[in-house]
Structures are given as structure tokens and as C-alpha cells.
Structure 1
Amino acid sequence: MASRGAVKSAVAVHSQQPAAYFNNAIKSPLVIHTGRRPICLATYRHPTASKRYFSGTGPSGIKEFFPEPNAPQTRITQPAWKHPIYSQKQLEDIVIAHRQAKDWSDWVALAAVRTLRWGLDLATGYKHDKAVSLGKRDPQQAVQKYAMTERKYMNRNIFLESVAGVPGMVAGMLRHLRSMRRMRRDNGWIETLLEESYNERMHLLTFLKMREPGWFMRVMVLCAQGVFFNAMFVSYLVSPRTCHRFVGYLEEEAVLTYTREIADLDAGKLPEWETMAAPDLAVKYWNMPEGYRTMRDLLLYIRADEAKHREVNHTLGNLDQDDDPNPFVSEYKDPSQPHPSKGIEYLKPTGWERKEVI
């Protein structure tokens, strides 16, 4: 065992390091070598190091945390749902859109999304409208008070994607159980809903390749998933149509957020992302071509996915929840005419009306 004097000496050496050393280093264990084997005392952190919430470890948080698994007997697992190929023009043509609320169901869904948006903006310090308003009077103060950094955007994205996969899983699960309970087919809805949830999880895994959440973020995600899952479960039993409209409005906000991230990146406000490459996980999943594997390209692909979810859920919200088939997996007599599909070649931001697809 190490002597008490050796322990004090080791701690003293650590404590004499400048504060910048501890602020710029990822938590490292304090190890004492005693001649037989090293003893790890504890993870030391300088008392002046700032506390960070909704953040990850390390100064920038950008790091590869998931190396390839050491499993020589196992082959690479292919995605359960292969992602459709997006062209560069399709990615750039994604637009911000909003479907106007037409009845009480729509208004309930829209009010719920606006409430959640307000809460998330408050938690992550994201106040775009106030920043624009203040920037017209005092650009420097607007930057100091409201500027979004790579770390803030990444924290927001991780939290958003950690709960974004809940609605599709809940809806698919409930429709699956109802199909078995009623002993009848589901008309193709289950696959699309589960694929949507899978796609949102891939967004999360991609962001986790670049940043590891801190303990506070993990606790918040745990609480958010617990509340959101149960709320969606009860809501979908009461009104599936309202839930699909809710997700449609939620995806509208996601498209808006990613569009602003891309705009900030193009404006030079996110310098760390300008030279960052997309993780290998993203390159394989989206089949990203050579020369189009930057952080900006990754955001374009994710935004396109959110735009597709926006279209799908607004469309499903327009259909008869019990009897209408899923138009996104149906075959059409004339495929050359615009129609719902798995890709974004005929993307309709506000969804397809029932009379257009049934």
C-alpha cells in the first residue's frame, strides 16, 4: 500500500498545476505508482474549473467516443432499414414550412409544440428571435448574450434527438398491439412509424460520435423520456390524429432549428464545424458520397430526414386512422406522377391531403 506521505506528495504535485491545465484536460485519474502496481485514488478536478450543465466532457466536446468493437467473429451489422439516397439538389431544396391549424385537434397539437419549444429554448439558452431583434440595435451585445456556439447547438441536438424517437416507437407499438388484438392487418403503418423512430435514433448516435453528454444531460434525458413516453402513450390512445399532427408540428421546428444551424455555419459563426468531417457511422448510413462528408453535409441530411418526418406525420394526420392504407408504402398506377414515397423526390412540406392519396 502507498504511504500517507506518498499520497500527500502526489496530491500536492497535482494541485500545483495551473488552472488552465485542468480546464483544458478531460478528467484524468490520479495514479500513484507504489512499485508493485498503480493505485487510482480518484478523479481530480481543479476547484476553479467551471461547472457546465447540458454539456459534455472536454474543452470542445468534439471527440470520437465509440471505437470499432473488438469482435472478430462478428460481421458489420447492416441497418434494419436502408436509408434512401438523397441528391445534393434535394438536400439544398428543403424549405421551412408551416401547416395552418384548421380545427381543435390541430390547435391542441400546435399549442403543445409551442409549449415544448419554449421550454427547450429556455433550457438551452436558444433565443433566436430576441437575438435578431437585439442585433439590429447592438450587434456586439446580441452576440455576447445570445450567440449559439458549437457546444450549445450540439447539446441541443443531442437532447432533441434523444426524445424525438419516442413518438414513432409509441405509435408503432400501439398499432402493432391493436392489429393483433383486432386480428386484422394494419395497412402498412407500423413499418413506417418504427422506421421513423429508428432514423431519429441514428441521428442521436451520430451526434454522440462527436460529443459525450455530461451527467446533468443524461438525467434530463431520462426524465424527459419518462414523461414524454407516457404522455404520448395516453395521447395516442385518445386521439392518434392529434398525435400525428403534433409530431408534424414538432418536425417543423426541427427543420427550422437545423436550417438556422446551417445558416450560422455558412456565416462563419461556427468555426469548429467548418473543417469537421462527418463520422464514419453517418457516412455509411446516409451513403454520403466522396467530397460531401463535412459537418455541413451531415446537417443537410439530418434536416432532410426531419422534413420527411414532417411530411409523413402531417399526411398520416389527414387520413382515417382505422381504415386508410399508408400511402408511403403503397404502389401507384402511374409512378411518374408526384406521389408519397420513402424518398424526398416528391416532398410535400405540409403533407398530402386525403383526397390526393386515397
Structure 2
Amino acid sequence: MTMMMMSRGGTKRVANTAVSVAKGLSCEVGGLKAFYGGGVRSESTMALSEKEKKVGLSSDGGNKEQKEIVSYWGVEPSKITKLDGTEWKWNCFRPWETYKADVSIDLKKHHPPTTFLDKMAFWTVKTLRYPTDVFFQRQYGCRAMMLETVAAVPGMVGGMLLHFKSLRRFEQSGGWIKALLEEAENERMHLMTFMEVAKPKWYERALVITVQGVFFNAYFLGYMISPKFAHRMVGYLEEEAIHSYTEFLKELDKGNIQNVPAPAIAIDYWQLPPDATLRDVVMVVRADEAHHRDVNHFASDIHYQGRELRETAAPIGYH
């Protein structure tokens, strides 16, 4: 009988152990809940189950369920602050991506068109400028906004095509992919800044969609056919941008355009002083365009020498 009692006790303990193990290994798929052994939930699944929902109190006194992703699979985002200790509020760029523009850059440099492709690129840009002058006239805020939606296309197209070329040929790019994509991102930040200054109307938005669609496809084909022509055209396009921003500054100095405080995004992106104004923003944007001018004329010169861009180190690190 003693043996039978021990056997029953042992069987009971085994059964209890089996139940515990079964509970420990249970997985509730619907709720994304996983338990291991002692019932400890993994941090990664807890991020989606418990941390994803944040319950607050609505203004009418009732409970309001608000979903908020506060982490990515259990990896808490690091807290980023400015030098003064205040919280960094921009998700589109980080403090280490900000810089001070070199406003001392030579703004009068010009590449005289000598070859047939140079002249073709030069007069293409001059032709494209005419309808812009007619449409915007002296509305330089809206003009800048339109200019940046076009100027942000070439860097992305060139970087994309060089990226695919690097993959196909199993070769490095000499940093030119990064340089061109940095240019595209910088032009996009110009747009994000001027969006705060000049609120586009519906017909201006429609014009942007049309112009971008046409220009993207045209530049894509142009770059596929002749990169030297494509980069030269962008060089001349940036020369026109410098001229447009110079006229913008003249209107600001004359008082025809109000010199409003600089948008907060511009102050942080270009490391401007807190009391910076629109004039300061136009100055740094113009300096950026001069840098893009030099980069693209340089890229075109490399192609004219019969070499590929990867053979010469790209001028990266400015932005």
C-alpha cells in the first residue's frame, strides 16, 4: 500500500509538472502573447501588446483608447536633446545631420558653354526659366517652392541610377551615390522650409505635380542617354537658382517682402541663431545651391574626360 501511495504521489507530481510545463509553453497567437517556463513575457512581444495601447482620459470624462507605438520590438528609442538640453523635436533629421552653410562660397562662378551638349544644356535651362518668370513674376516665396520641387529630382534620379549600376557591375561608386542623394535630401529640406513661409494654393500644388511628373521622366531619359549632359544641365539650373535667390534677397532688402522670423525647422537644420530671419534662410539656401552647382559641373567634367564618376572621389560631407 505504501508503494501504491508513493506511486500515486509520484504520478500526481509528474502530472502537475506536465501541466506547469504545458502552461509555460502555451502561446496565445491572437494577442501576440508568448510565455516561457515561469510565465515571463518576452520584451519584444510586450512592446506590441502592452506598450502599444495607451489609455487616456477624454475631455468629456470618458475613457479614450489611443494607440501609440512607443518602441520597436522592445528597443526603446534613445532620447535626443539639443546642446542646451531641450528635447529634439524633428524626426525627419537628427542633430548630427545639421550643419553651417558656407556662405562665403563664390556665387559668380559660371561654366561657359563650349561644346554642343553644354550649349544644349544651357539653353534648355534658359527656356525652362521663361514660363517660371511669367507665372510667378516676383512672388519669390512661391517661386522658391516650385524651384525646389524640381531641383530635388536630379540628385535622386542620378543616385538611383548609380545605385543600380553599382549593383549590376559589382563595383563601388566612389561616394557619388551618397553625394547625389545628399543633394536630393538637401533640396527637399529647402522645400520643407519654404512650405512654412509660402503656403501653396491648390493650383500651385497641381502645377508641381505636373512639372515634377514631366521633369522626372525627361531627366531620367536624359541621364540614361548622356550623364555628362544631365549633370551639366543641373549645374546651369543651380546657377539660375543662385540668381533667383539673389533677386529674393534684393526684394527683402527693399522691404517688398516682409523679413519674417526664420521657421524653426530652418534654425535647427542650418544651426542658425534663435533670432534668425527669412533673409538668413535665403542666404544659406543660396550657398547650398552654389555647392550643388559646383558638384554637378565637376561630375560633368569627369564624364567629359572619358572617365566614370567612381574613379574620382565624390565631394561628400558638406551637408
Bucket of the pairwise TM-score, normalised by the shorter protein: 0.5 to 0.7
Partners of 1:252 and 1:165 in 2: how far apart? 15
Deviations 1:287-335 (A, max 9, x none): 11244x1111011011011011011111111112354223414xxxxxx
Matching residue of 1:250 = 237
Distance in 1 separating the partners of 2:92 and 2:143: 28
- Say if 1:71 and 1:257 are closer, same or farther in 2 by CA, change over 3 A: farther
SS of residue matched to 1:278: coil
Matched, 1:79 2:100: no
How far is the alpha carbon of 1:79 from its aligned partner? 2.1
- Equivalent AA in structure 1 for residue 123 of structure 2: A
Distance 1:173 1:327 in 2: 16
Q: Determine the structure 2 residue equivalent to 1:179.
A: 166
Instruction: Give the Cα–Cα distance (whole angstroms) in 1 for the partners of residues 104 and 261 of structure 2.
Output: 19
In structure 2, the partner of 1:58 is none
1:204 and 1:300 map into 2 onto residues whose CA distance is 15
CA contact (8 A) 1:248 1:311 kept: yes
Moved more, 218-227 or 314-323: 314-323
SS at match of 1:212: coil
Q: Secondary structure at the match of 1:177?
A: helix
Of the three residues 157, 160, 166, the one matched with 2:153 is 166
Is residue 179–residue 314 contact of structure 2 (8 Å, CA) maintained in 1? no
Unpaired runs of 5+ residues, structure 1, are 1-69, 126-147, 330-340, 344-358
Q: Offset at 1:265?
A: 1.4
2:289 to 294, 300, 306: 306
Question: Which residue does the alignment assign to 1:241?
Answer: 228
TM-score normalised by structure 2 residue count? 0.67
Structure 2 CA distance for aligned equivalents of residues 94 and 318 of structure 1: 19
* CA offsets 1:7-29 (integer angstroms, 9 cap, x no match): xxxxxxxxxxxxxxxxxxxxxxx
Supply the AA of the counterpart residue of 2:318: K
Cα distance between partner residues in 2 of 1:164 and 1:327:
19
CA contact (8 A) 1:245 1:314 kept: yes
**What is the CA deviation profile of residues 107-162 of structure 1, one whole-angstrom value per residue up to 9, with x for unaligned ones?**
1110110111112112223xxxxxxxxxxxxxxxxxxxxxx3xxx11111111111
Contact kept, 8 Å, 2:175 with 2:310, in 1: the verdict is: no
Over the matched positions of the two proteins, sequence identity in percent amounts to 39
Secondary structure at the counterpart of residue 200 of structure 2:
coil
Please state how far the C-alpha of 1:285 moved relative to its aligned partner. 0.6
Going from structure 1 to structure 2, the CA distance change for 1:269 and 1:78 (only over 3 Å counts) comes to closer
Contact 1:240 1:321 in 2 (8 A): no
- AA paired with 1:294? T
1:284 paired to 2:296: no
The structure with more radius of gyration: 2
Within 5 A, what are the aligned runs for 1:261-300? Answer: 261-270=248-257, 272-273=258-259, 276-291=260-275, 293-300=276-283
1:205 aligns to 2:220 (yes or no)? no
Deviations 1:212-260 (A, max 9, x none): 2111111111111110000011110110111111000000000011011
TM-score normalized by the length of structure 1: 0.60
- Judged with a 3 Å threshold, the aligned counterparts in structure 2 of structure 1 residues 161 and 153 are, in CA distance, closer, same or farther, namely same
Query: How much does 1:92 deviate?
Result: 5.5
Question: Secondary structure of 2:97's partner?
Answer: coil
Instruction: Judge conservation of contact 2:235–2:296 (CA < 8 Å) in 1.
Output: yes
Any idea what the Cα deviations from partners look like across 1:40-85, whole Å, max 9, x if unmatched?
Answer: xxxxxxxxxxxxxxxxxxxxxxxxxxxxxx9794764262772432
Answer 1 or 2: which has greater helix percent. Answer: 2
Change (3 A) 1:97 1:323: closer
- Residue 122 of structure 1 is matched in structure 2 by 134
How far apart in 2 are the matches of 1:192 and 1:232? Answer: 18
Correspondence for 1:317: 300
1:42 matched to which residue of 2?
A: none
- The match for 2:202 is 215
Provide the secondary structure at the position in 2 that maps to 1:249. helix
2:219 is the counterpart of 1:232: yes
Q: Can you list the C-alpha shifts for 1:327-355, whole angstroms capped at 9, x where unaligned?
A: 414xxxxxxxxxxx627xxxxxxxxxxxx
- Report deviation, 1:266: 1.5
Q: Secondary structure at the match of 1:243?
A: helix
2: distance between equivalents of 1:321 and 1:216?
42
Paired position in structure 1 for 2:54: none
Q: Tell me the C-alpha RMSD between the 2 structures.
A: 2.2
Q: How far apart, in 2, do the equivalents of 1:342 and 1:71 lie?
A: 36
Task: Give the distance between the partners of 2:99 and 2:165, measured in 1 at CA.
Answer: 29
Which amino acid in structure 2 is aligned with residue 283 of structure 1? I
